[in-house]
Structures are given as C-alpha cells and as structure tokens.
Amino acid sequence: MSEAWTWVAIGGVTLTTFITRAGLLLLGERLRLPVLVDQALAYAPACALAAIIVPDLVLADGAVSLDPSNFRLLAALVAAGVFVATRSFVATIAAGMAVFTALRLLA
Amino acid sequence: MSVTELPGAAAPPPLDPERAAAFRAGLRDMAPAVPGVAAWGLVTGVAMVQSGLTLWQALGLSAFAYAGSAQLAALPLLAGGSPVWVIFLTALMVNLRFVIYAAALRKPFGHLPWPRRLWLGYFTGDITFVIFMRRQQQAPAWPQRDSYFLGLAIANWAAWHVASFAGILLAARIPAEWGLGLAGTLALVALLIPFCMRRAAAVGVLVASVVAVAAHGWPLRTGLLAAIACGVTAALVAERWQGRRGGAGAA
C-alpha cells in the first residue's frame, strides 16, 4: 500500500472512532430507543468485555487451549482471584504478570 | 520574560469550584486503572511499529484514531495492503461496542451543546465508560457529571498516549516474549468481574464468551458482534426467567 493510501486508511479508522462514539450522542434523545434496547444496554458492556477477553486468553494460535501450558489463561485466573480478594487494579495486573513471567522463565 | 502557558491541557470549564472538584474526582477515580491502560498503550505502540508502519504513521494512527482494539485489528490489514474500505469496515465493527456506550451516555449528556457532546463522545474509553456509569447509577442527577467524565477521560487519554508513544519509540527494544499485551487483558478482567455479581449478567457473560471463542474465525471480526448479541439476549432471558420465578416465590 502506498504511503498516501496508508494515510487515507488512518483517516478512515479515525472516522470510525467519531461515528461510533459520538454519533448517537449527537443525535441526542430525539431518536427514541425501544424499551427492550434500553434494557439490553445494561448488559452490553459486560458481554462486550467478555467477548474481547475470553478468546484472547483461551485461544493459542487459533485453537482452544485449556491445559496448563496456556500460561496466559493461568495468569488471568490467578489475577481474577486476586481482584476478587483485593479489588485492586494494580495488584491484579501485577499478580497476573508475575505469574505469567515466572511460568515463562521456568518452562 | 513571561512563562508561556502550556497549550492543550484540556481543562474543564474554568472558574467553577464544583466543576473543578468533579474533574479532580474523575482523575482520582481513574488512577487505579492507569497502569493497565498504560501497559495496553505500550503494547499497541510496539505492535504498530513492529507491523511495519513508519514512525509518523504509527504516531498518527495512535493520536487520531485513539482506539486500541480497532488499531490492533487494522494493523495486519494495513501491513497486508488490504483495500481501504475493508480496513474501514473492520475498524467500524470492532468499534461498534462504543455505539452501545454512546446510547447509554445520551441520558446524562443529551442536553449539552453539540461540540461538547462530540468531544465527550470522542474521549469515551471502555474503562472510562464503566467507571462513569457506576457513579452515574449512584448519583443520576449530579450536575457536574460531564466534568467528572472529562476527568476520567483525560486521565485515560494521557496515560494511553504517553505509553503508546513510548511503545512506538521503544518498539525495537521490547521483546515480544515479555507478553506485555496480557497486562491490557488483565485490566479488562478486573473491569469485567464486578458485572458478573448479578446472575443475569453472569449468564450473558458466559454465553458471550462461548460464542466469541466459537465464532473467532469469522471475517471482519463479526464474531465479536455475534457474541455480544447472543450474550445480551441470554442475559435478558435470564432476567425475565428469574423475575418470574422470584414473583412466584413471593406470592
């Protein structure tokens, strides 16, 4: 891809940021959403987060990997436990990365 | 000699102490998430350069698009010379979850002048949104809520860009096997867990997870959208079913 087209593509990605994040907000409440959609919005962020996180942790080279050789998954499970116990972002990330790094260096 | 003011320090509307306090509360509430955001930004910066973008292209993509997951999704397409419309659609799909956020933000922000809505929208991030909505549910009528949101958003923005630029500049020296990308995922795990305390939401999360894994290979990351749709549907069904059972039990 030429230099110029790469910049056009960068502009396109930037445009999607504005469209998706500000579009509905600019339309305001003139556009009424159905009640069902309104209720669905309460669950959407959690489902979106899960849909981003879980494949990232469970898949290794495109295949499901649920055994102990999946260090990322093990580290995330430990991190989740630490979060439930401490409610601390920093402790969660530090614990997860420590487990991952230790497994990686020992393996 | 007078000292020149630093430009671009995006301040809330000045001279109102309550707004300034709300802005500071936003900065403060975002602080615990900063290491995770920074790690994620660093990783994205490194990935952009390692995929073959020039220094200026990487800086431009990060500074303008300000969308980690869409940037990461666009990288292999940019590197592989995909048509611009494919890159545009892919970024749009990955960013679609922000439409959901924007819909939820219309209630607190719908009354504001449109330039402010445009920028509040642009600065919405995943973590920013989640923290804001938690506060919004506790205090729905807070008049300074947009300043609070801006505080969250600016902290997120600054952490992201400092780290992302550092990643771009340091890309050649950070080995991939350190697995820094995991830190970003761990931050999202910490965000997700509080949602799962409600049973209907937990059902939705479970279904979304399974569908996301099963549909992972779908083109243009449409599997992500299918997973969100299935998860939300499952949560709504669970909520109804639970409500009916709860009602019967009470009667």
Same domain, B113 and B205: no
- Residue A103, Cα to own-chain centre: how many angstroms? 23
On whether both B154 and B32 belong to a single domain, the answer is yes
Q: Is residue B246 a part of any domain in this protein?
A: yes
Q: Do A39 and B236 touch (CB under 8 A)?
A: yes
Q: Judge if B60 and B139 occupy the same domain.
A: yes
Assess whether B182 and B207 both reside in one domain.
Answer: no
Give a yes or no: residue B79 inside a domain: yes
Decide: B195 and A49 in contact? Cβ < 8 Å: yes
Query: How crowded is residue A77: how many other Cβ atoms within 10 Å of its Cβ?
Result: 15
> Same structural domain for residues B171 and B206?
no
Q: Is the CB of A22 less than 8 angstroms away from the CB of B122?
A: yes
Asked if A28 reaches chain B (Cβ–Cβ under 8 Å), the answer is yes
Count of domains for chain B: 2
Question: Which of A25, A87, A100, A106 is the best residue to mutate to test the B interface, defined by the most B CB atoms within 10 Å of its own CB?
Answer: A25
Residue B5 has pLDDT above 50, yes or no: no
Lowest mean pLDDT among B11-15, B59-63, B77-81, B214-218: B11-15
Residue in B with minimal Cα distance to A53? B185
Domain that holds residue B229: 198-251
Query: Which one, of B172, B58, B231, lies nearest residue A42 by Cα?
Result: B231
Q: How high is the mean pLDDT of chain B?
A: 84
Q: Are B95 and A53 in contact (CB < 8 Å)?
A: no
Of A20, A36, A46, the CB nearest to B205: A46
pLDDT band at B138 (very low <50, low <70, confident <90, very high): confident
pTM metric for this prediction: 0.70
Count CA atoms within 13 Å of residue B134 on its CB side: 14
Tell whether B244 and B124 lie within a shared domain: no
Query: What ipTM, to 2 d.p.?
Result: 0.82
Helix extents (H) in chain B: 17-30, 34-50, 55-60, 68-79, 84-95, 97-109, 114-122, 126-138, 145-170, 181-192, 199-214, 222-250
* Count of other CB atoms within 10 angstroms of residue B71: 25
Query: Average pLDDT of chain A?
Result: 88
Are B70 and A58 inside 8 Å of each other by CB?
A: no
Residues B102 and B151 in one domain: yes
| pLDDT of A44 | 79
- Please check whether residue B144 lies inside any domain of the structure: yes
Over the stretch B24-57, which tens digit does the pLDDT of each residue have? 999 999 998 888 888 878 878 887 887 788 889 9
User: With bands split at pLDDT 50, 70 and 90, how would you rate the model's confidence at B239?
Assistant: very high
Chain A positions touching B99 (Cβ under 8 A) are 20, 23-24
pLDDT exceeds cutoff 60 at B140: yes
- Residue B204 belongs to a domain: yes
pLDDT in tens, B92-132: 877 877 888 888 888 888 889 989 999 999 999 988 998 89
| pLDDT at B1 > cutoff 90 | no
**pLDDT tens string A32-71:** 778 887 778 778 778 888 988 898 899 988 889 998 899 9
Highest-scoring range by mean pLDDT, B114-118, B183-187, B203-207: B203-207
Chain B environment of A55 (Cβ under 8 Å): 212-213, 216
Q: What is the pLDDT of residue B213?
A: 94
Is B7 domain-assigned?
no
Q: Does B246 touch chain A (CB under 8 A)?
A: no
Is the same domain home to B212 and B161? no
Residue B90, CA distances (Å) to B16, B73, B188, B199 in order:
42, 7, 21, 32
